[in-house]
Amino acid sequence: MQCIGKRTVCYAILSFNLVIVHLVRTCGELRQMKSKTKGQIEAEISEAIIKFEKEYMGRGPLETKSYLLDDMVLVRLKGVLTQAEHQLASTGEGSKGRELIKQVRIELLEKGRPLLESVIETITKRKVKSLHTDISTSTGERIILFTLEGPPELNRPAGAPEGS
């Protein structure tokens, strides 16, 4: 009977150890799921901004790139002007076309600001302190800068240097 008891205890200890190993692996995977890499955050932000531009502004950019810089998110959108806006922007120096495009685009962005801030806060898990934007009517680029209450928590691959 003692032999069977010892085997039972050994099996119980082995099973317990396997459960612990599984829990440790699961916790590690969950921790990695909570925090994202810098590249993942930048990609998610780019996708969200493209979706916002298409659904809210009516037209998406030709190219979008996001940069996470400490507690700031910089988004560069290329090719955001419509054909009509290009025509308006090219109507001579005395024309108010360029200023009109900037005013309308800034006003539209301000109306969608709560939605944009919510998306950035969801992705970065940080509150947005401020949003700044400008658009170039000559190149058709728009820059959006978000400042956050702190840098997002990043999941860095083992051995990766700080800031990567």
pLDDT band at 14 (very low <50, low <70, confident <90, very high): very low
CA distance 4 to 9: 9
Q: What is the per-residue pLDDT across 148-162, written as a single tens digit (0 to 9) for each?
A: 999 999 887 656 666
Phi, psi angle pair for 94, to nearest 5°: -75, -10
Written as six digits, the tokens of 79 are: 């090719």
Q: What is the per-residue pLDDT across 41-93, written as a single tens digit (0 to 9) for each?
A: 999 999 999 999 999 888 899 999 999 999 999 999 999 999 999 898 887 76
pLDDT band at 126 (very low <50, low <70, confident <90, very high): very high
Helices (H) and strands (E) in the chain, counts: 5, 4
Expressed in percent and rounded to 5, the helix, strand and coil fractions of the chain are 55, 20, 30
Q: Report the b/e string of 69-86 with b at 16+ CB within 10 A.
A: eeeebbbbbeebbeeebe
Mean pLDDT across the stretch 129-146? Answer: 95
CA distance 113 to 128: 11
* Per-domain boundaries in the chain: 1-35, 38-148
Instruction: Supply the pTM of this predicted model.
Output: 0.74
Q: What per-residue confidence (pLDDT) applies to 1?
A: 42
